[in-house]
Amino acid sequence: MKGPTTVPSVSTPTAPASRVSQTRTAVPSGSKAASAARAKQVTVPTRATVPARRLRAVESAPAPEVPSGARSGTGLPTPADQYGTGRAQRLTKAFTALEAFPALAESRDRLEGLLTKEQVATAELVSAVESDVALTLRVLHAANNANPGSQGRADTVVSAIEVLTTAELATLVSSLRTFDFFEHSGVWDTAPERFRLHALATQHATDAVASEVGYEHRDRLTATSLLHDVGKLVLMHAYPGYPSLVHQGATTPEQRIHQERRELGVDHTLMGGVFARRWGLPSSIASGIERHHSPEAEGDAALLRLGDMLAHYQQGTPVSPVEMLAGARTVGLGPAKLRSIMYDLPSAASMRQRHVDPCPLSSREVGVLQRLAEGKVYKQIAHELNLSTSTVRTHLHNIYGKLGAVDRAQAVLIASERGWL
């Protein structure tokens, strides 16, 4: 799969790296680095000097298994290899390995089941895709690479599903590798399950924040939050010993980012943004991934930063109260609102209601069905709407036909699930 072949670099520091440069690395035309660049490998950012004891520990760590075309080499590259093809090949193979990142078997099976139905609500398809990181990633990739003019246009799962046909979705889903909690794969072990759980927790927390502040682009934010840590999977494959050895002594998200930049010269946010662009995903998603740990983040990235901290809090891992309050202020939340979200988050609904299918009912029919859902009888509904009882019955008959319902209870349930009530 085609995409950019150059990774933004980090200027070589003499002290722990703190900021990422977004410019390309210039290299002498006759150097080995130039030869490597001409070979269309990934140009890799430099890293800060790693303490000898830590470097030996990371270099001696066993490499995790990968799919066919397994990588060679041991730990982190030596300083002399920083711009060589060895390090470039590590990242190239890591990016390639993510093409086979598995979906949760249950999520894949449910989506396949929906695709076999003669009629299915778009909201159901969207919810099934957004239940899993790999499904979201592959659907967005397919939609943004369906034809030359489509790249970078579908920044939500809703818009991606509109681009793809049912047959294309079915083919994509059937080709996915899967994982199951009870049957761990030797390739990824437990990483997909841990990754999915944190991604979903971040998705729910970020959406709760977005709802509180009235953010407009919640569908895009949902997709970005699911993919926000994809760079960790890149680093996991490129650097044996990541994350356990790299994150030694770090407890909060900010400390872990600092450790990554110090030990590797890059961090997972940068690698995630590079991967998203290589896969043709919109810049709105890639930039949100890249900046979700930045204190200067705005828009999607700022909401995602706070959502990520809330997810860590909900999962019982340390977060900085100072950083969380600062993140809340950035998106316009005061301490009282933040405390309310933290209180509600553990018991909040796992998935928000999606309003993506057009309602087939007229406004009058919606009014009748709404009152029916409230437990009112025909006479009450007729009185409130200034209609005759027979007219109310006619409206209900039409409602049942449009919704495919057999009675009032099923009609109310269908309309509620699809967000029409």
Give the amino acid at 285: I
- Measured CA distances, 403 to 26, 362, 391 (Å): 62, 12, 18
Average pLDDT for residues 27-40, to the nearest whole number?
43
What is the reported pLDDT for 161?
93
Q: Is the pLDDT of residue 268 over 80?
A: yes
Q: Where are the domains of the chain?
A: 103-179, 191-228+292-347, 363-417
Q: Is the pLDDT of residue 68 over 90?
A: no
The neighbouring-strand residues paired with 189 are 185
Q: Of 327, 287, 296, which Cα lies nearest the Cα of 311? A: 327
Cβ(318)–Cβ(247) below 8 Å: no
Q: Residue for token digits 């979903």?
A: 200
Q: Is the pLDDT of residue 294 over 60?
A: yes
What is the reported pLDDT for 270?
95
Q: Is the pLDDT of residue 72 over 50?
A: no
Distance CA 220, CA 155 (A): 6
The one-character DSSP state at 101 is: P
Distance CA 36, CA 278 (A): 19
Average pLDDT for residues 266-271, to the nearest whole number?
94
What is the reported pLDDT for 187?
62
Give the amino acid at 318: P
Give start and end residues of each alpha helix (H) in 50-153. 52-59, 85-97, 105-115, 122-129, 133-144
Task: Classify residue 404 as left (phi > 0), alpha (psi -120 to 50) or beta.
Answer: left
Distance CA 228, CA 328 (A): 19
Average pLDDT, the chain: 80
The more confidently predicted of residues 123 and 71 is 123
pLDDT tens column, 198-209: 999 999 999 999
> pTM for this one?
0.69
Secondary structure of residue 180 in the 3-state scheme: strand
Give start and end residues of each alpha helix (H) in 299-334. 299-314, 321-330
Percentage of residues in the chain with pLDDT exceeding 90? 57
pLDDT tens column, 137-151: 999 999 999 877 666
What is the reported pLDDT for 185?
62
- End-to-end Cα spacing for the chain: 43
Give me the CATH topology for the region 363-417. Answer: Arc Repressor Mutant, subunit A (1.10.10)
What is the reported pLDDT for 131?
94
Find which of 58-67, 180-189, 258-267, 287-296 is predicted with most confidence, using mean pLDDT.
287-296
The more confidently predicted of residues 415 and 320 is 320
Half-sphere exposure of 154 (CA within 13 A, CB side): 25
Q: Which residues of 308-324 are buried (b: 16+ CB within 10 A; e: fewer)?
A: bbbbbbbeeeebbeebb
For residue 54, name the pLDDT band (cuts at 50, 70, 90).
very low
The more confidently predicted of residues 398 and 12 is 398
What is the reported pLDDT for 118?
85
Average pLDDT for residues 227-239, to the nearest whole number?
93
The one-character DSSP state at 345 is: G
Secondary structure of residue 157 in the 3-state scheme: helix
Average pLDDT for residues 66-94, to the nearest whole number?
50
What is the reported pLDDT for 38?
41
Q: Residue for token digits 């961090």?
A: 267
Q: Is the pLDDT of residue 40 over 50?
A: no
Give the amino acid at 170: A
